[in-house]
């Protein structure tokens, strides 16, 4: 897979609808009206990075073409299709299965994560495997919007939705549902070729019902590590593993790995790979520029009422017209 084209002269672009565009797989994808309004209002947040988009898709390339960027400075169809496949949850499942073949003792959870097709799902149904606590995840989605928890088995409407996803995309990711989760957190990276990748730091985020994203903690790395509460030696070993293996995926650029700590101290090391910029990386950058910040307006109130703010140490997006948070991760 070719590396991402040089983006030094590409203007920064805040396009968190990109995961939805990857699912749609068309350059003419149009986000929901509310999402369009949010993206328009929050473009000033791009001052936090030098160049390039939040994430790549056919739709991202079209947006740059609409800005007048020459086609030869943008990724090709084949690059974008390869990137789309890498960004799916099939990559998550393959990556964690390879990771689990290493000797981690009994310190990790997540070895049940797998992808299934329609036949596999129906087989699980017939064996009543769906009666145990599971979570189903659409191949392309963000902020928990494609998650279908089945704590006591799938509800009929959710089962129909799973079959619809399988009919459209061919597979769905299945993992155990962990009711004993204590903390959601991430490792953030800048992946580069030739051993130049960097670990950017840890981030910590809040989740609500069905795993929906609820905001990002802004704090020092030491404070975040205390809140995460995981064994620091194990975290360091995982960072080293990722710096070695992530570049082999063929992706270059900013990315994060969502993780969780369970009540027994075990870590789920790869809840999700996000091959793009994300709110955790923004939180790290804000803390770097404004150490100890607790309250801040990162963008002005936009024409549609959206604003990115830090309130009591929590980075989030609010809609001042309706008073409800709406956050991409």
Predicted confidence at residue 143, as pLDDT, reads 63
Enumerate the CATH 3.30.470 domain ranges in the chain, comma separated. 179-325
- 291-308: average pLDDT: 97
Q: Could you report the per-residue pLDDT of 25-69, keeping only the tens digit for each? A: 999 999 999 999 999 999 999 999 999 999 999 999 999 999 999
Position 130 pLDDT exceeds 60: no
Note the Cα 102 to chain centre separation in Å.
24
Residue intervals in the chain for CATH 3.30.1490: 114-176
Q: Which of 279, 324, 287 is nearest to 306 (CA)?
A: 324
Residue 303 has pLDDT above 50, yes or no: yes
Measured over the CA atoms of residue 195, residue 140, residue 39 and residue 3, the dihedral's sign is positive
Domain 114-176 matching CATH 3.30.1490: the answer reads yes
Q: How confident is the model at residue 293 (pLDDT cuts 50, 70, 90)?
A: very high
Q: What is the pLDDT of residues 171-193, one digit of tens each?
A: 999 999 999 999 999 999 999 98
Residue 2 pLDDT > 80: no
Q: Above 80 in pLDDT, residue 161?
A: yes
Q: Which of 136, 214, 130 is nearest to 172 (CA)?
A: 136
Residue 210 has pLDDT above 90, yes or no: no
Would you state the pLDDT for residue 327? 59
Average pLDDT, the chain: 91
| Cα–Cα distance for residue pair 173/112, rounded to 1 Å | 10
Q: Provide the whole-model pTM.
A: 0.92
**In the predicted model, is pLDDT for residue 323 greater than 70?**
no
| Predicted pLDDT at 232 | 98
C-alpha 297: how far from chain center: 23
Spatial distance between the Cα atoms of 78 and 144, rounded to a whole number of angstroms: 28
Return the closest-CA partner of residue 19 out of 46, 57, 52: 57
Q: How confident is the model at residue 3 (pLDDT cuts 50, 70, 90)?
A: very low
Q: What is the CA radius of gyration of the chain?
A: 19
Give, in words, the CATH class of 179-325: alpha beta
Q: At residue 282, does pLDDT exceed 70?
A: yes
User: Are residues 274 and 205 in contact, defined by beta-carbon separation less than 8 angstroms?
Assistant: no
- Return the minimum-mean-pLDDT range out of 3-12, 69-78, 210-219: 3-12
Angle (CA) 83 86 91, round 5°? 175
Distance of CA 8 to the CA centre of its chain: 24
């Amino acid at each position: 897979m070719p590396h991402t084209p040089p983006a030094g002269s590409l203007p920064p672009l805040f396009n968190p609808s990109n995961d939805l565009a990857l699912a749609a797989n068309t350059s003419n994808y149009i986000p929901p009206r509310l999402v369009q309004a949010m993206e328009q209002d929050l473009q000033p947040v791009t001052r936090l990075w030098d160049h390039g988009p939040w994430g790549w898709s056919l739709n991202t390339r079209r947006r740059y073409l609409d800005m007048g960027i020459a086609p030869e400075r943008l990724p090709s169809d084949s690059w974008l299709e390869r990137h789309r496949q890498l960004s799916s949850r099939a990559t998550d499942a393959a990556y964690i299965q390879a990771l689990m073949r290493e000797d981690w003792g009994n310190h990790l959870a997540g070895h049940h994560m797998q992808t299934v097709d329609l036949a596999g799902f129906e087989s699980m149904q017939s064996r009543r495997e769906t009666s145990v606590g599971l979570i189903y995840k659409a191949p392309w989605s963000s902020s928990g919007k494609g998650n279908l928890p089945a704590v006591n088995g799938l509800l009929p409407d959710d089962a129909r939705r799973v079959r619809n996803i399988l009919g459209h995309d061919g597979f769905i990711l299945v993992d155990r549902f962990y009711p004993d989760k204590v903390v959601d957190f991430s490792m953030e990276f800048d992946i580069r070729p030739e051993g130049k990748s960097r670990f950017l730091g840890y981030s910590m985020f809040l989740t609500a019902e069905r795993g929906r994203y609820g905001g990002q903690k802004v704090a020092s790395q030491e404070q975040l590590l205390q809140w995460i509460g995981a064994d620091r030696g194990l975290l360091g070993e995982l960072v080293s593993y990722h710096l070695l293996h992530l570049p082999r995926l063929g992706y270059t650029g900013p990315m994060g790995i969502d993780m969780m700590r369970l009540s027994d101290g075990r870590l789920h090391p790869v809840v999700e790979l996000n091959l793009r910029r994300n709110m955790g990386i923004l939180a790290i950058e804000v803390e770097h520029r404004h150490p100890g910040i607790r309250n801040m307006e990162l963008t002005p109130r936009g024409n549609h009422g959206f604003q990115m703010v830090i309130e009591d140490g929590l980075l989030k997006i609010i809609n001042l017209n309706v008073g409800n948070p709406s956050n991409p991760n």
